[in-house]
Amino acid sequence: MTTKKETFASLLKEFEYRYPTRTIFDDFLTLTLCAFSYNPLTGLSHDEELYMQTMEKYKDDTLRHHFPKLLICLTAEMEERIGSEIGTDVLGEFYEQHLYRKGAGQYFTPWHLCSLMAKASVNTIDINATHMPMRILDPCCGSGRMLLASAKENGPEHEYYGIDIDHTCVKMTAINLFLNGMFHSEVMCGDALDPDDFRESYKVSFLPFGVFRVAEKENSWLYMLHKNSFIKNSDSERAPVAYGTPICHTTQLRLF
């Protein structure tokens, strides 16, 4: 007798009769980010308190053991799709199919279009001439799919930045960037049209290794870069600087 293979989607489905799918999905993202924020001095997460608060509602439920299984399935499914024509955005695909808000104008760009845009948006001559990493920004990043496509095209050694007003999307992007080895990255929750809007961000790093939550805007490199990409016009209102100059020569972020 063959056993049905567990998948990321099938494990999440087992929760649906006890908890809203959106709650389970978002809690999984939070727990995963807490797990990725390891503090070697304490042997715990930098966000241990948040981890325990999130797990509180599941402490007497045997389904709590599904959370590590979900991460195993997620990484396995992403690994199987490395180099494929459909990309590795397992999280974004689940969100699209089950959770995204149609009425809120929330649309995720299909992978093949992301791939096309990644190829069209970079001048390889400029990259090779400067020998410096690019800074690439998606100001409405969703699950980070365009950034993933850019890393596939240009390599993970560049700096990748994402901004989104939806906190769940920000968490998806942070996990995607980390699991795809994009260790010079940051993802910020905020309105990209408002240079002063900062709610929190996640820094993806190799040394120290992990994903680290940034609660104060003064500690966010992305917030500073984004704020500096705005100028004041004659009416003392803020307006965004036009993106397009090679980022390696300035502090300006490249729009992707």
Q: Which residues of the chain have pLDDT under 70?
A: 1-3, 101-105, 123-130, 231-256
Q: Are 117 and 149 in contact (CB under 8 A)?
A: yes
Query: Exposed (0-12), middle (13-18) or buried (19+): which is 164, by Cβ within 10 Å?
Result: buried
pLDDT tens across 38-53, in order? 999 999 999 999 999 9
Which contacts of 23-30 are long-range, i.e. CB under 8 A and separated by 24 or more positions?
A: 25/94, 25/95, 25/98, 25/99, 25/168, 26/168, 26/171, 27/54, 27/58, 28/67, 28/70, 28/71, 29/91, 29/168, 29/171, 29/172, 29/175, 30/54, 30/171
* Structural domains of the chain, with CATH: 8-101 (no CATH), 110-255 (3.40.50)
pLDDT score at 240: 45
pLDDT at 236: 46
Alpha-carbon distance of 134 to 154, in angstroms, equals 9
Q: What is residue 120's predicted lDDT score, i.e. its pLDDT?
A: 85
Residue 123: what pLDDT?
A: 65
Residues ≥6 apart with Cβ < 8 Å to 21: 12, 15, 98, 99
d(CA 221, CA 203): 9
Q: Give the pLDDT of residue 147.
A: 96
Each residue's pLDDT tens digit, 63-74: 999 999 999 999
